[in-house]
Amino acid sequence: MSTTTTRTEETTEPVRPSGGTSDRARAEQRLGWLLAGPAFVVMLLVTAYPILQAAYYSLFDYRLTDPDKRSFVGLNNYLVILTDSVWWTSFGVTVFITVVTVAVELVLGFALALVMIKALKAIRPVLRAVILIPYAVITVVAAFAWQYAFSLDSGFVNSWFDWLPGVSADTDWFGGTFSSLFVICLAEIWKTTPFISLLLLAGLAQVPEVLQEAAKVDGASWWQRMSRVTIPNMKAAIMVAVLFRTLDAFRVFDSVFVMTAGANSTETVSFLAYRQTISRLEIGLGSAVSVMLFVSVVLICVLFIKGFKVDLSAQRGEN
Amino acid sequence: MSTREKVLWVVAGIVIVVYALLPVGWIVSLSLKSSSDIANGQFLPTEVSWENYSQILVGDAAELFLPALRNSFGIVLIATFISCVLSMFCAYAIARLDFRGKKLILSSALAVAIFPVISIVTPLFNLWRQIGLYDTWPGLIIPYLSLTLPISIWTLSAFFREIPWEMEQAAQVDGATTWQAFRKVIVPLAAPGVFTTAIIAFFIAWNDFAYGISLTSTGAARPVPAALGLFSGASQFESPNGPIAAAAVIVTIPVVVLVLLFQRRIVAGLTNGAVKG
């Protein structure tokens, strides 16, 4: 009885090769969504809803200091942002930090992964534990540690490196754009290289040992084995690591907040959005910056997936 | 491996250890400097002083730091717990059941994971103020789920996929009831994965700064990273560096302990979720 009634209800069910949907498959379908649904819904509620709200607010001239004067301005906020040098400076700084940190981290992370895979069995657990510490340390704490190491009133860097040209006891690292960005990048690199190197290590472990041996027998040098055998075979792992880190680096906020608070043109896009909304209470403009940050992240993602053919689902063994 | 090569790898290993521990050692060292010693320009304190610790634990800064520590532990543990429970069901369904929408769920988790936190902060800031969640624990627990849920679903479904589920049937054939089979066979197999996922989720929520700083205004809900970011010293004539360093050391201890105890599992969890299927 119940079989026939439910079957007519669920007309969207695709016909399976085994001859129609069985009761069991349908029950499984329902159970699947029953179990997975709550997590899925909560996840969408806490992200999709706010971003839609942001997109809506971004069309208004809306200040919390004067909420009654809220007025619809269409795309004017975006126009204001795109014609303002503040946006382009912060965008440039963000791109700079992203490119520098990801490039350095990739090289450094690869070196770390190579050492970890070659390291003697006895010290491997030590290395693995040690490398996780930067990953686990709070970003704000890492930012403070690096800031204080370089700062004039409590640092040791100036006295350690005063033999370097351009460094003396009173070098003010946070007095200029590039020296500030240098310290910010250093902190970011220190903190996130371990993550990249662990992903690369997992990729390295998947390169078949026989390929290495074969290349060795054929007389390939270490460099040739790296560039012709190892790296091409772990390209997928590399791309996934780079994609994750790029997206992460593009959102850089904590270190900038702690170290410079955007002084000396070191403001990033995230910091700009924060400043507009939370400090200046310009909900309309801030939302527009937030939306543009979101769009930038989506564009990076699309660029990677289409441009570099990063297949995340293949990585997951979904296909 | 020749002796020379061995020495080379050991040296490389030492370089890594120094790389990872130098900034941590530095913040510990800084926290042990007295206020007159802060500017000594050296890595190590001239004389070890507990002044900074007493300032944040029982002194002037205690009323800022201790509530923040309580908020951090409370909010992060609750968010971790909720996301673990939700993602346990979700990952079980993804690993064991055949239903349409699996891919949709996994790709949404990925999309949410790459979401720029600041983009969500603006609308939440406004909404929370309207509905009274601003500066409350739930006001942070809810957005923390956006940080912890995607990674939990992702990591846990990778773990659950590797569980030999046939063992459940095997146990039932041997005469166990469904409940016994689940409790005695599946739970012990699944527990390490759930535990690892909880640790990773904990790290991520513990690390949050953007939500903490934007959605709170007082000690009622402000977590430690945000409190650190806004701490400006007991008086305006005193440098806040020492007390901040001491507070930084205290909040770093739990994560370092977790890392040292469970490093193997954490590595497996991080890489399973991202690279292997």
Q: Assess if residue A6 is contained within a domain.
A: no
Residues of chain B with pLDDT under 70: 1, 232-239, 273-277
Pairwise CB contact (< 8 Å): B229 & A257 = yes
Are A248 and A101 part of one and the same domain? yes
Query: Is B101's CB within 8 Å of A43's CB?
Result: no
Å between B91 CA and nearest CA of chain A: 7
Smallest CA–CA distance, residue A227 to chain B, in Å, is 21
Q: Under a CB-based contact definition with an 8 Å cutoff, are residues A36 and B104 in contact? A: no
Contacts of residue B250, Cβ cutoff 8 Å, sequence gap at least 6: B53, B56, B69
Residue A2 domain-assigned (yes or no): no
Burial-class residue B2 by CB neighbours within 10 Å (0-12, 13-18, 19+): exposed
Task: Please tell me whether residues A27 and A65 are part of one structural domain.
Answer: no
| Non-local CB neighbours of B183 within 8 Å, separated by 6+ positions | none
**A74 shares a domain with A39:** no
* Four-residue CA torsion sign, A149, A150, A151, A152: positive
Tokens 């009133």: give the residue.
A153
Q: Are residues A235 and A195 in the same domain?
A: yes
Residue A14 has a pLDDT of 47
Residues A143 and A37 in one domain: no
Q: What pLDDT is recorded for position A21?
A: 62
CA–CA separation, A294 vs A312, rounded Å? 20
Q: Give the rounded distance of the alpha carbon of A287 from its chain centre.
A: 21
For chains A and B, CB pairs below 8 A equal: 318
Q: Which residues contact A155 (CB under 8 A, 6 or more apart)?
A: A148, A149, B41
Whether A189 maps to a domain, the answer reads yes
Residue among B150, B161, B206 minimizing CB distance to A43: B150
Long-range pairs, B42-51, Cβ under 8 A, ≥24: B42/A156, B42/A159, B43/A156, B43/A160, B51/B242
Mutate to test the interface with B, among A35, A117, A191, A257 (most CBs of B within 10 A): A35
- The answer to whether the beta carbons of residues A112 and A197 sit under 8 Å apart is yes
Evaluate whether residue B172 is within a structural domain. Answer: yes
Residue with tokens 């994965």: B193
Whether residue B217 lies within 8 A of chain A, CB to CB, comes out as no
Domain assignment of residue B259, given as a range: 57-276
Task: Say what the pLDDT of residue B183 is.
Answer: 82
Cα separation, A161 vs A173, whole angstroms? 13
A28 with B97: Cβ contact below 8 A:
yes
Q: What pLDDT does A211 receive?
A: 82
Tally the residues of chain A.
Answer: 319
Q: For tokens 């190197």, name the residue.
A: A197
The Cα of B248 is separated from the nearest Cα of chain A by a number of Å equal to 6
For residues A95 and A212, state if they share a domain.
yes
Task: Tell me, yes or no, whether A69 and A38 share the same domain.
Answer: no
Answer yes or no: do B99 and A28 touch at CB < 8 A: yes
Q: What is the ipTM of this complex?
A: 0.87
Rg (CA), chain B: 23
Answer whether residue B185 is part of any domain: yes
Q: What is the mean pLDDT of each run of 10 residues along chain A (319 residues)?
A: 39 46 80 86 86 85 76 82 87 93 93 82 81 89 90 80 78 84 92 88 81 82 82 82 87 88 84 84 86 88 78 46
Cβ distance of A144 and B16 shorter than 8 Å? no
Q: How far apart are CA B39 and CA B236, in angstroms?
A: 17
Q: What angle do CA B127, B129, B132 make, to 5 degrees?
A: 105
Task: Output the pLDDT for position B235.
Answer: 53
Does A307 map to a domain? Answer: yes
Identify the pLDDT of residue B81.
94
In a domain, A5, yes or no: no
**Closest CA relative to residue B127, chosen from B136, B223, A2, B232:** B136
What is the predicted pLDDT for the residue at A34?
Answer: 86
- Domain assignment present for residue B5? The answer is no
Tell me which of A81, A144, A196, A313 to substitute to probe the interface with B (most B C-beta atoms closer than 10 Å).
A144
Q: What is the pTM of this model?
A: 0.85
Instruction: Quote the CA–CA distance of B86 and B67 in Å, as a whole number.
Output: 28
Residue B16 lies in a domain: no
| Four-point Cα dihedral A300, A92, B213, A51, nearest 10 | -40
Residues of A in contact with B114 (CB under 8 A): 244, 247, 297, 301
- Residue B118 has a CB neighbour count (10 Å cut-off) of 26
Q: Is B9 exposed, middle or buried (0-12, 13-18, 19+ CB in 10 A)?
A: middle
Q: How far is CA B248 from CA A298, B20, B49, in A?
A: 34, 16, 16
Q: Quick one: three-class SS letters along A101-117?
A: HHHHHHHHHHHHHHHHH
Report how far residue A182's alpha carbon sits from residue B75's, in angstroms, rounded to the nearest whole number: 34
B29, A142 contact by CB (below 8 A): no
**Alpha helices, H only, chain A:** 2-9, 23-57, 76-82, 85-118, 124-136, 139-150, 157-160, 177-206, 209-217, 222-224, 231-233, 235-250, 254-259, 269-274, 283-302, 312-315
Is residue B20 within 8 angstroms of chain A, CB to CB? yes
* Contact (CB, 8 A) for B223 and B76: yes
| A42 lies in the same domain as A131 | no
CATH code, B198: 1.10.3720.10
Cβ of A46 within 8 Å of Cβ of B244? The answer is: no
In the 8-state DSSP scheme, what is residue A173?
Answer: G
CB contact under 8 A, B13 and A244: no
Nearest CA in chain A to B39: A154
Tell me if B38 and A126 make a contact (CB, 8 A cut-off).
no
Going B160 to B162 to B164 to B165, the CA torsion angle's sign is positive
With 0-12 / 13-18 / 19 or more C-beta atoms within 10 angstroms meaning exposed / middle / buried, residue A207 is middle
**B26 assigned to some structural domain:** no
CATH number of the domain residue A270 falls in: 1.10.3720.10
Do A130 and A84 share a structural domain?
Answer: yes
Contact A247, A305 (CB under 8 A): no
Provide the domain count of chain B. Answer: 1
Q: Which of residues 58-87 of B touch A (CB under 8 A)?
A: 83, 86-87
* Contact assessment for residue A102 and residue A246, using Cβ atoms and an 8 Å cutoff: yes
Closest residue in chain B to residue A122, using alpha carbons only: B10
Residue B6 CA: distances (Å) to CA of A121, A178, A226: 11, 40, 20
Mutate to test the interface with A, among B27, B110, B214, B275 (most CBs of A within 10 A): B275
Per-residue pLDDT, B266: 82
A128 and A244, same structural domain? yes
Kindly list the residues from chain A whose CB atom is less than 8 angstroms away from the CB atom of residue B26. Answer: 145, 148-149, 156
Whether A41 and A93 map to the same domain: the answer is: no
CA distance A60 to chain B (A): 13
Q: How many domains does chain A have?
A: 2
Range of A311's domain? 58-315
Output the six-digit token pair for A263.
């002084």
A61 strand-pairing partners = A71
Closest CB to A153 among B13, B86, B241: B241
Question: pLDDT value at position A98?
Answer: 93
Q: Are residues A92 and A182 in the same domain?
A: yes
CA of A276 to nearest chain B CA: how many angstroms apart? 9
Q: Measured between CB atoms, does B258 come within 8 Å of chain A? A: yes
In this complex, which of B97, B116, B271 lies closest to A294 when CB atoms are compared?
A: B116
